[in-house]
Amino acid sequence: MPSKATFGYRSEASRFFQKIEDDGLEGTRWAVLVAGSRGFSNYRHQADVCHAYQLLKKRWPGTIINHPDGTDVYKGVPKDYTGENASVENFIAAILGNKNDITGGSGKVVDSDPNDRIFIFYSGHGGPGVLEMPDHSHLFANQLIEVLNKKRATRTYKSLVFYLEACESGSIFEDLLPQGLNIYATTAANPVEDSWATYCPGHSPNFPPEYHTCLGDLYSVSWMEDTEKNNPVAETLQQQYERVKTRTMNGDYKYGSHVMQYGDTDRLGMGLLSVYLGAHLANDNYTFVDRHDDDSLPPPTGVVGQRDADLVYFWDKYLKAPKGSARKLEAQQQLVEIMSHGMHIDQSVKLIGKLLFGTERGPEILVSIRPAGQPLVDDWECLKEMVGTFETHCGKLNQYGMKYMRSFANMCNAGIRTEQLAEASTLACAGIHANV
């Protein structure tokens, strides 16, 4: 099983993606698939990406499952940038087609032309205005939007579709992605809520006992299982959005999220999925099935908040390990470490807020949400510096702590300087090593 992430490939477009001979398309289809995390506890992100690859290259077998009763999806998946090479810098260079800016990895980039179509899928961890890369660097929303604007300015694509799985993923595009770029984006969640893992231990029937971790993410498996159920030549982006939105809301949103769409939704939403994903030989005779029919997507069999998936993983390992074994002790220690880190981050940020804004106003300011039409933060460089300052004095935020990006943004919006945060962080995190 891979413990590192994958992103970026060109899938033999001249041979495979031109299987559709009657769609009237010119140019090449490109796909960039990003698993934004690493480690077995984040297995589901790797599985999401491997599953997506198999949708694009249907005939390859594999060795990772994305469903308790699913087929393996790993073997043959190209891993162009992994570990430390799966960085923000390489991701940006790959999208823009800048081979000279690539460091390590396969060197593949999206060397696209004006008539080409691009599909990007990211599955990983996020927070307000930010996505995490496997090297633990942060891709901020303004960076991504700048990349997309640059890509459009070079006239090297006809249209681009972006599917994004992460907590608060709506904050990456809301009030930031302009109209007119010929970009259609959907996200697993709105700007202020978590996304959800699914097919988890204890939740799914027939769950393989050798797995201790969630196998997929609710939004991701929803769009992929919908694609497998229906014919992409007969289903539009908008139709898939509606079906995935219904399944991902999970009834009343208590254990689900709001799937969102951004960009040129009216213009591109009526386009066919096959324009970006190709056609599946296995379901060429299928037609689109309305979500109210019996063949609609099944409800989830249980979900876990993305930020709690680590706890599920180590808890399941602990429960299944033999009593008194080294494996049980190791799982217990890992579980305690994860819980301790979360408590440390929670307490540190809350104390810093009180030091900066006072006991009464601090908690309110840290969680306040700006009105619609305003971006998360006015000064993105300030946000980056705030995060760096906190991590220097209090340790890495890691995937759990990314939920506090809004708190750091609110500090910037309130005029707090990095020097003030450094002083407050020193008081709040005295004696804490920077690598905690």
Residues annotated as catalytic (active site), given as ranges: 125, 167
- What are the distances in angstroms from CA 390 to CA 64, 167, 393? 37, 21, 5
**One-character DSSP codes across 14-43:** TTTGGG--SS---S-EEEEEEE---SGGGH
d(CA 286, CA 244): 18
3 state SS for 167-213 = CCHHHHCCCCCCCCCCEEEEECCCCCCCCEEECCCCCCCCCCCCCCC
Please list the residues that pair with 8 across neighbouring strands.
none
Residue 322's Cβ-count burial label (10 Å; 0-12, 13-18, 19+) is: exposed
| Tokens matching residue 28 | 């090449």
SS3 content of the chain, % helix, strand, coil (to 5): 40, 10, 45
| Tokens matching residue 190 | 């709105």
Q: Cβ distance 145 to 58 under 8 Å?
A: no
Half-sphere exposure of 342 (CA within 13 A, CB side): 14
Three-state DSSP at 94 gives helix
Residues 6+ apart with CB under 8 A from 430: none
Question: What is the helix (H) or strand (E) element at residue 152, kind and residue range?
Answer: helix 141-153
Question: What is the helix (H) or strand (E) element at residue 127, kind and residue range?
Answer: strand 126-127
Three-state DSSP at 123 gives strand
Query: Closest Cα partner for 398 from 343, 360, 356, 331?
Result: 343
